[in-house]
Amino acid sequence: MTNDDIQDLVSKAMGTAWQLGQTYWQQADSESFSQNKKSDDTQIKFDRLVDETREAIRQSQCGEQT
């Protein structure tokens, strides 16, 4: 993975994180119980995005070292 690829990966992840954050707060602030409950799922999606992005960067660095 090139430096440009990593930059693209992080940029896309940040855009997705922004969208998830907007969705999370909309759901968490909702007076609707069903919308409020969905914020838990959105938090899980965000956590997964962080883990996947970190792993992709780690994999790219491991590939460069071999």
Q: Check: pTM over 0.75? Answer yes or no.
A: yes
* CA-wise closest residue to 9 among 39, 54, 47, 63: 54
The domain limits of the chain are 3-65
CA 35 remoteness from chain centre = 20
CB 35 within 8 A of CB 64: no
Confidence of residue 54 (pLDDT cuts 50, 70, 90): very high
pLDDT for residue 65: 64
pLDDT, mean of residues 31-46: 95
